[in-house]
């Protein structure tokens, strides 16, 4: 049953990416909202997500697309002028990329977020704004920091920005939170753990669950940076969409709040455990190459989502292996998207999709 939402004008920054395209699909098929996607299409293959959305019957007269960059304040202001809701997923998403080019990382993540926030403030609409931050704002959490290896991190964990990526996303995180306090902008921050699911073009720098699955399906070896015992909690993208909807529906409660969002202890898994699960499920062998640990990687991160659950009654529904099966099913219907391309992505292009994954 559709939700009546004819007055909703939704703007999705990074809307062509993994999370953004899934959210756009939900809005177009489950509500009556008008949806504007804002993306610079710099992340590989995201144009396929736009083609998928354009084919929807519901997209006619309700979907508009702006190809532009969040670093351009004038274009951001124009796109934001009539929005009643803003979802900010546009970002440089890889720790490794931030180490190679910290200036661009800062300009996209911190500067781009500031452009969006100030455009929202100047619009006079007081749009609901949801920003996807990352667990990296908590720094290098060690296994001994909590009572057990799979106990969750809640919002009282001290901030400890680590790596240029952690600093840029942390800066954006705090700006979004403060614009709610200072300017009354009804904004929500999601500090996310590992998100996975269909339409994720994962690689070894970001989107590690999908990367492991695709490697197994294609008979490719994977590189493990560190000992492989790093632990993350995995959240299915379908459960994340439910969290977005819950945050909006309960906006009188969630506005101005920061929430840790992830699969929680029940969906916590190490890299090697996930590989073993994939091998058992697909009945394949995935060769592994062990390499030195990379800067900025957390030995363990597991989400305590109790605060958000208390405010909205939300909880994850999909298990890790169900999420793996969802990715496999999507891959089986979209094999052509993974065929080798005869050209490389232009140098200097930055991803415009925000995820709370880890460099695997």
User: What residues are annotated to the active site?
Assistant: 165
Q: How many other β-carbons are positioned within 10 Å of the β-carbon of residue 344?
A: 7
**Residue 286 CB partners (closer than 8 Å, separation 6+):** 212, 215, 216, 221, 222, 275, 278, 279
The whole-angstrom separation of Cα 56 and Cα 141 is: 43
Contact predicate 246/289, CB 8 Å: no
Q: Which residues is 268 bridged to in the sheet?
A: 233
Q: How many other β-carbons are positioned within 10 Å of the β-carbon of residue 199?
A: 22
Q: 110: which 2 tokens?
A: 């911190």
The whole-angstrom separation of Cα 357 and Cα 76 is: 26
The DSSP result for 226-289, as a single string, is SSS--EEEEEEHHHHHHHHHHHHHTHHHHTT-EEEES--GGGEEEHHHHHHHHHHHHT----EE
Q: Which residues is 190 bridged to in the sheet?
A: 132, 259
Q: Counting Cβ atoms within 10 Å, is residue 126 exposed (0-12), middle (13-18) or buried (19+)?
A: middle
Q: What is the DSSP letter of 45?
A: T
CA dihedral 115, 99, 339, 26 (to 10 degrees): -40
The whole-angstrom separation of Cα 218 and Cα 344 is: 20
The whole-angstrom separation of Cα 31 and Cα 41 is: 25
Q: Characterize the bridge pairing of strands 85-88 and 128-134.
A: parallel
């Amino acid at each position: 049953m559709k939700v009546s939402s004819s007055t909703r004008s939704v703007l999705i920054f990074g809307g062509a990416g993994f999370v953004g395209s899934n959210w756009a699909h939900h809005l177009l098929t489950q509500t009556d909202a008008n949806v504007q996607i804002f993306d610079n299409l710099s992340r590989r293959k995201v144009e396929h997500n736009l083609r998928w959305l354009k084919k929807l019957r519901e997209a006619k007269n309700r979907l508009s697309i702006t190809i532009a960059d969040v670093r351009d304040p004038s274009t951001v202001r124009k796109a934001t002028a009539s929005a009643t809701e803003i979802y900010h997923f546009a970002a440089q998403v890889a720790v490794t990329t931030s180490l190679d080019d910290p200036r661009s990382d800062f300009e996209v993540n911190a500067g781009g977020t500031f452009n969006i926030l100030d455009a929202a403030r100047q619009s006079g609409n007081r749009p609901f704004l949801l920003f996807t931050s990352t667990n990296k704002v908590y720094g290098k959490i060690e296994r001994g920091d909590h009572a057990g290896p799979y106990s969750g991190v809640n919002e009282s964990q001290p901030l400890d920005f680590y790596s240029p990526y952690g600093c840029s996303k942390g800066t954006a995180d705090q700006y979004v939170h403060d614009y709610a306090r200072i300017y009354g902008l009804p904004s929500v921050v999601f500090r996310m753990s590992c998100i996975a699911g269909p339409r994720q073009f994962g690689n070894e720098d970001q989107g590690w669950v999908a990367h492991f699955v695709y490697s197994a399906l294609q008979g490719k070896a994977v590189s493990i940076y560190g000992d492989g015992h790093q632990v993350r909690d995995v959240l299915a993208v379908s459960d994340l969409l439910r969290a977005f909807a819950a945050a909006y529906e309960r906006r009188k409660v969630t506005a101005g709040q920061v929430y840790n969002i992830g699969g929680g202890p029940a969906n916590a898994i190490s890299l090697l455990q996930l590989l073993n699960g994939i091998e058992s499920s697909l009945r394949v062998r995935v060769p592994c190459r062990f390499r030195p640990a990379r800067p900025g990687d957390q030995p363990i991160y597991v989400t305590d989502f109790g605060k958000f659950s208390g405010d909205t009654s939300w909880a994850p529904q999909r298990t890790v292996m169900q999420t793996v099966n969802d990715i496999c099913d999507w891959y089986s219907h979209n094999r052509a998207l993974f065929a080798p391309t005869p050209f490389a992505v232009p140098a200097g292009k930055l991803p415009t999709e925000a995820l709370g994954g880890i460099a695997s």
